A and B are shown apart, each in its own frame.
Chain A
């Protein structure tokens, strides 16, 4: 009887312990013996790494829950790396790579007149901690598969050192190769890698090596820092920083440039590029104003309320960095190209010393975009004027509409308060004088 009782108690306990043991990685080098057979390349890379020499084993980074590992739930986060590499972790998290890029937003804290409510897109209240919730409209429009490979593979950089370093190789040759940046920093929206590659900096690098040709890392990871945003005077959406932040960043970049160039030359180059930046933003601002005015006049086709809602702003018009390229009107799609592609090519092309990108691929396209947008706006207005369903308006209605448009224009900063008041008084005067 005693034996039966003992078995009744011990058997489930034994089975449970066996079940737990089946999901845990055995201690010691047991991972290696098995994975040498199953994932030979990974083991080889690890054996050649600094981690192996420092006796940092698989479980130190991956943990011991083998079931979770098999599901892909135990990717190594930056916080894990940060335990042994605190300085690199801190500078990475404080940089643009670590500031909300997972959500598709660059931090806007240094922008002039920024809307403080924007902070809530990435941060919890009164906290610098970044929320895990993704608040990128373009991401939210994707299928989960496209979101994973098309968005997160780059925007995971905040939480994955492997984005640049790769997973098991610690050889710094990998992260010092500009190609590692090209995984994300190429293509129509920010082709920094192509700009650099075809600039004189890139040509010197390809012909004479890193001692004569600076790479991405030479300028943007100066002194082996992980602060990739050091020295940059604008947000990732290309809005200029406020004066104080811009002056500090410029000082940092001049220090980098001065490693090879006379400081006065470097300053002149950067200041000329600042002018290109301002001139380009002015073109975009004009285009934004045209689209916003069309929306005020209810002339967009389709209007925001007549198309699928914007994932973050519903049926409101969105022209900021959450601008969409799908489920939108044709003129907004033109603005998207202008703002997201051609503005970036012009401005970043200038700062990366690439004349072809700055002019033909950037500036010329920007100006042609504006021609297209003006033309499309004219077509939309003409279409409304020719519409047989529109009743004729009297001057009362017209004055009311003009006052409303003026107010909206004032609210978004399209006119100064003084200009708005003058225009409003003139509209009222004309109205009162009409018989």
Chain B
């Protein structure tokens, strides 16, 4: 069950996509039940807690037996795009493109399909995919983890790939750490390096991700960071335990949320005149639908993303941002 975005596709098909229910789902990481009374949701089918993907233009998530499948909502016609399940998929903001990442040896193959299911572009990156998102209609980011065993531990690097369609993906190292042998033995590599999946803001402009810290003779933990993808400004928002299982942005992109081991959801206002605000919330009270953002005109959206980037880089104050945002939303 999921909410659907209000964006409209200009094409004739309303397409949804599904995956084989493997363990590599990247969206909807929080296991939060939205209100049954919500006008944006309806039950389509049974799935696991994080197995369905919404097409930006569609309103009907669907399931398939295996691989990657597009379903024409009107006719019910199914189009098989791949017979193996991708590690991650993402829809472009306007729903005109679908990206999928397939595990390929020590790396992954990124494939870009148009809304008709035609393969438009392919590229290969190193590392295990941990997240795949569109930042614009023609630009994707992929977060991948590379690991290398060493005598003193396992070297673990988190890479951010930026893929402008038609060019080669460019990698930036987000974080590099060494996982100690004892931690590896206790928690396992996958849990330590890939449990906490990065998420993108509803405006597709900021990335919430975790950096694993594993000091010697101490329990590993995560530092949560928000990185603005326009100007790469980033800031730390919290230090959380190794048992944290999921993160999300609030629907207005102004709060970060994560689950604690006792299944409480914690929320942090990202900007409060420079003050960190950490509030324990309950599952019922959190507006946590991923990728649901207010409907804005192109100009409003463009302006909002700019002032968000300026705020992240410290070029304007939190108050100036708040005032600007208010005016942009009222324009």
B315 / chain A contacts, CB cutoff of 8 Å: 400, 403-404, 406-407, 424
Q: For chain A residues 390-435, which have a beta carbon within 8 Å of chain B?
A: 396, 399-400, 403-404, 406-407, 424-425, 428, 431-432, 435
- Secondary structure at the B interface, as helix, strand, loop or mixed, is helix
Cβ-defined contact, B328 with A424, below 8 A: no
Q: For chain B residues 275-320, which have a beta carbon within 8 Å of chain A?
A: 299, 302-303, 306-307, 309-310, 313-316, 320
* B324 at the binding interface (Cβ < 8 Å): yes
Cβ-defined contact, A403 with B299, below 8 A: no
Cβ-defined contact, B303 with A403, below 8 A: no
Report Cα–Cα, A404/B320, bound state, in Å: 15
Cβ-defined contact, A400 with B309, below 8 A: yes
Cβ-defined contact, B314 with A407, below 8 A: yes
CB distance from A409 to the nearest CB of B (A): 12
The contact of A403 among B302, B316, B328, by CB within 8 Å, is B316
A396 / chain B contacts, CB cutoff of 8 Å: 302-303, 306
Size bin of chain A's contact surface: 10 to 19
B310 / chain A contacts, CB cutoff of 8 Å: 400, 403
Report Cα–Cα, A428/B303, bound state, in Å: 11
- Secondary structure at the A interface, as helix, strand, loop or mixed, is helix
B231 / chain A contacts, CB cutoff of 8 Å: 400
Cβ-defined contact, B313 with A404, below 8 A: yes
Report Cα–Cα, A62/B306, bound state, in Å: 71
Beta-carbon nearest neighbor of B309 in chain A: A400
Beta-carbon nearest neighbor of A402 in chain B: B315
Most chain A beta-carbon contacts within 10 A, residue among B306, B314, B320, B327: B306
Report Cα–Cα, A435/B303, bound state, in Å: 10
CB distance from A431 to the nearest CB of B (A): 7
CB distance from B100 to the nearest CB of A (A): 31
Cβ-defined contact, B303 with A432, below 8 A: yes
CB distance from B232 to the nearest CB of A (A): 13
CB distance from A403 to the nearest CB of B (A): 4
Q: For chain A residues 68-93, which have a beta carbon within 8 Å of chain B?
A: none
Report Cα–Cα, A406/B317, bound state, in Å: 14
The contact of A431 among B303, B309, B313, B314, by CB within 8 Å, is B303
Cβ-defined contact, B320 with A424, below 8 A: yes
Report Cα–Cα, A182/B261, bound state, in Å: 76
A428 / chain B contacts, CB cutoff of 8 Å: 307, 316, 320, 324
Report Cα–Cα, A425/B313, bound state, in Å: 16
A407 / chain B contacts, CB cutoff of 8 Å: 314-315
Report Cα–Cα, A424/B323, bound state, in Å: 13
B324 / chain A contacts, CB cutoff of 8 Å: 428, 432
* Contact (A432, B328) CB under 8 Å given A400-B315, A424-B316, A424-B320: yes
Most chain B beta-carbon contacts within 10 A, residue among A399, A406, A428: A428
The contact of A400 among B306, B314, B320, B331, by CB within 8 Å, is B306
Report Cα–Cα, A399/B309, bound state, in Å: 12
Beta-carbon nearest neighbor of A424 in chain B: B316
Report Cα–Cα, A400/B309, bound state, in Å: 9
Report Cα–Cα, A400/B231, bound state, in Å: 10
Report Cα–Cα, A141/B306, bound state, in Å: 43
CB distance from B177 to the nearest CB of A (A): 25
Beta-carbon nearest neighbor of A403 in chain B: B315
CB distance from A245 to the nearest CB of B (A): 35
Report Cα–Cα, A403/B315, bound state, in Å: 6
Q: Could you mark each residue 13-34 of chain A with 1 if its beta carbon is under 8 Å from any beta carbon of chain B, else 0?
A: 0000000000000000000000
Q: For chain A residues 303-317, which have a beta carbon within 8 Å of chain B?
A: none
Report Cα–Cα, A278/B306, bound state, in Å: 42
Report Cα–Cα, A435/B310, bound state, in Å: 19
CB distance from B328 to the nearest CB of A (A): 7
B313 / chain A contacts, CB cutoff of 8 Å: 404
CB distance from A317 to the nearest CB of B (A): 19
Report Cα–Cα, A98/B316, bound state, in Å: 47
A406 / chain B contacts, CB cutoff of 8 Å: 315
Report Cα–Cα, A61/B19, bound state, in Å: 88
Most chain A beta-carbon contacts within 10 A, residue among B299, B313, B314, B315: B315
CB distance from A217 to the nearest CB of B (A): 54
Beta-carbon nearest neighbor of B315 in chain A: A403
CB distance from B330 to the nearest CB of A (A): 10
CB distance from B38 to the nearest CB of A (A): 33
The contact of B327 among A399, A403, A432, by CB within 8 Å, is A432
A403 / chain B contacts, CB cutoff of 8 Å: 310, 315-316
Beta-carbon nearest neighbor of B331 in chain A: A432
B309 / chain A contacts, CB cutoff of 8 Å: 400
Report Cα–Cα, A435/B300, bound state, in Å: 10
Report Cα–Cα, A428/B231, bound state, in Å: 18
CB distance from B278 to the nearest CB of A (A): 28
Cβ-defined contact, A399 with B320, below 8 A: no
Q: For chain A residues 40-78, which have a beta carbon within 8 Å of chain B?
A: none
The contact of A399 among B299, B306, B314, B328, by CB within 8 Å, is B306
B320 / chain A contacts, CB cutoff of 8 Å: 424-425, 428
Report Cα–Cα, A196/B327, bound state, in Å: 66
Report Cα–Cα, A404/B309, bound state, in Å: 11
A424 / chain B contacts, CB cutoff of 8 Å: 315-316, 320
CB distance from A22 to the nearest CB of B (A): 54
A432 / chain B contacts, CB cutoff of 8 Å: 303, 324, 327-328, 331
Q: List 15 A-B contacts (CB under 8 A).
A: A396-B302, A396-B303, A399-B306, A400-B231, A400-B309, A400-B315, A403-B316, A404-B313, A407-B314, A424-B315, A428-B316, A428-B320, A431-B306, A432-B324, A435-B299
* Given contact pairs A403-B310, A424-B320, a sample of 14 additional A-B residue pairs in the complex whose CB atoms are under 8 Å apart: A400-B306, A400-B310, A406-B315, A407-B315, A424-B315, A424-B316, A425-B320, A428-B316, A428-B320, A431-B303, A432-B303, A432-B324, A432-B327, A435-B299
Q: Which 3 A-B pairs have the closest CB atoms?
A: A403-B315, A396-B306, A432-B327
